[in-house]
Structure 1
């Protein structure tokens, strides 16, 4: 396995740090990973090493405002933040296709990164051969519009770069209250205490994001519409049945149905019993990694396996100021 770190320049001259994990032999496919909020691409190195051993080239990178060297931690940009993070992903995918010509490319988006990935394939679906969505949720349009108005008000009062503790408490804090008594503030991420502790001690994880980022994020989610996706694009969704972001299975199940109803032909959903938000870092991560491998181009298409959804809970940002 060969590892290469490089810098790509986005359209507004932003530097994108990219890491490529390349198998010793010619890869059978490529996987680009779009990570979640308040984390970074380096957290996927273990998975990338394992996939490279299976013959898969893996490309990770840091979203704007995330990871080492970020100029404005927790903030996308002062203007057109969502457009810019989607364009950054376009730079990464285009470079991947140029580096591995003729190799099918899959896109994995986790949590916030799943929504960036969905916006991306809505614009550049012809460049992706398979879309994989981890820990995503349905699009609550009415609630998102209310949330957008309130976030916009906070931005007017405090400025767009203001890191809002209020929004963090109303989202991440609400998620963790579902796992009381909790050992830490991040028990909602995984049942594996070692993985939770790694997140808590990582200086580039858990940052409070800016009001501007939240405004961009909510606006970006509102722009997602599966009716504008390629109908022949294979789409795989997976999550844990105890993931509060996906409403413990209810929200992601509804998004799965919405994608099917939009006319996308190949859609699967897999819910892992008892799993929390980061299934790739769960106690049964080995099973999840093998499932992910099955989702990649050239593999047998996994069957939908959905566990009974548990109690309805508030999903990410969609219920930001509700209840």
Structure 2
């Protein structure tokens, strides 16, 4: 594991680590965007697995998470969606310079799945494959949520914390059983010192904007319509919106212009499929997708939604 520091446009030092392939030449590069309230360290097991199979993996703490913090950008502060996407573009460009000529794949979990879909709109030609995990569905109240978040940010300040907005986002719910069927994973989350309990108003506005913008089809330049996309979710994950919500997410990507969109739904698993007891099967399925060719049928997945 090799740590690197990248400086964002506003001066924030982004905490980034690279797991370099065990082979002399990596098969490809994998860039991972984590979910809400968490940090890059929760993806080390997946990174080591992919590293052992010839991939070079880069993990970063999204601004306001983990170690990508400062006096000006404390935990729970993300700023705008544009800044978040700019940070990821910086990471992608750095990877391409460090490992020229290697294909880049993107992995986004939960909140990261929203950011990844927004990243596609202008930069889908940066990447050759996309994996969405805990794929967040479009919420019918997204536009109202953005307006409410803007109003509260105006009245209470971007840097303020609104209990109402955090509750609307689902932060700090007492029942975390939806996250994982694996009790050890839930205990680890509760005891993780990097987790936090509240986002600033502007951060929640960024997340709400991302949920709304994923359906802004006019923003998709679709320079890479052949981009291979795979969604992996648990059957008992409420964040996906169930079968209908997940179908809507897949259909939206096709409407945006992408022709290779597949979905795998794991029976009995919940939101964090890579942290469930059965995660080795999930890892193997991810490896199969990453090593597959575009003309292969990816409907190997039980419960596939095309």
Fold agreement, TM-score > 0.5: yes
Give the conservation status (yes or no) of the 8 Å contact 2:235–2:265. Answer: yes
> SS of 2:170's equivalent?
helix
**Residue in structure 1 matched with residue 127 of structure 2 by the alignment:** 128
Q: How does 1:101-112 map to 2 (within 5 A)?
A: 101-112=100-111
Give the conservation status (yes or no) of the 8 Å contact 1:131–1:234. Answer: yes
Query: Which one of the candidate residues 10, 18, 21 is aligned to 2:19?
Result: 21
The answer to whether 1:156 aligns with 2:154 is yes
Deviation at 1:258, TM superposition (A): 2.1
Give the conservation status (yes or no) of the 8 Å contact 2:262–2:298. Answer: yes
> SS of 1:17's equivalent?
strand
Deviation at 1:95, TM superposition (A): 1.1
Gaps of 5+ in 1: 177-183, 310-323
Query: Quick one: distance in 2 between partners of 1:67 and 1:158?
Result: 26
**Residue in structure 1 matched with residue 37 of structure 2 by the alignment:** 38
The answer to whether 1:238 aligns with 2:232 is yes
Gaps of 5+ in 2: none
Query: Quick one: distance in 2 between partners of 1:54 and 1:308?
Result: 25
Q: CA RMSD in A?
A: 2.2
Deviation at 1:30, TM superposition (A): 1.2
Query: Quick one: distance in 1 between partners of 2:143 and 2:97?
Result: 39
Deviation at 1:124, TM superposition (A): 1.1
Q: Could you list the runs of 4 or more consecutive aligned residues of structure 1 that deviate by over 3 angstroms after TM superposition? A: 297-301, 304-309
**Residue in structure 2 matched with residue 216 of structure 1 by the alignment:** 206
The answer to whether 1:249 aligns with 2:243 is yes
**Residue in structure 2 matched with residue 312 of structure 1 by the alignment:** none
The Cα offsets for residues 39-95 of structure 1, whole Å up to 9 and x where unpaired, read as 011110111111111111110001111113512111112xxx111100100011111
> How many pairs are equivalent?
295
**Residue in structure 2 matched with residue 168 of structure 1 by the alignment:** 166
Give the conservation status (yes or no) of the 8 Å contact 2:263–2:304. Answer: no
Give the conservation status (yes or no) of the 8 Å contact 2:238–2:271. Answer: yes
Give the conservation status (yes or no) of the 8 Å contact 2:137–2:241. Answer: no
Query: Quick one: distance in 1 between partners of 2:47 and 2:289?
Result: 15
Query: Quick one: distance in 1 between partners of 2:300 and 2:101?
Result: 29
Deviation at 1:13, TM superposition (A): 2.1
The answer to whether 1:274 aligns with 2:253 is no
Give the conservation status (yes or no) of the 8 Å contact 1:104–1:297. Answer: no
TM-score, scaled relative to structure 1: 0.85
Give the conservation status (yes or no) of the 8 Å contact 1:40–1:204. Answer: yes
Q: How does 1:1-323 map to 2 (within 5 A)?
A: 3-25=1-23, 26-68=25-67, 70-71=69-70, 72-77=74-79, 81-140=80-139, 142-172=140-170, 185-224=175-214, 225=216, 228=220, 229=222, 230-296=224-290, 298=292, 302-303=298-299, 305=301, 307=303
Query: Quick one: distance in 2 between partners of 1:205 and 1:164?
Result: 18
Deviation at 1:104, TM superposition (A): 1.1
Give the conservation status (yes or no) of the 8 Å contact 1:236–1:267. Answer: yes
Deviation at 1:122, TM superposition (A): 1.1
TM-score, scaled relative to structure 2: 0.89
Deviation at 1:242, TM superposition (A): 0.9
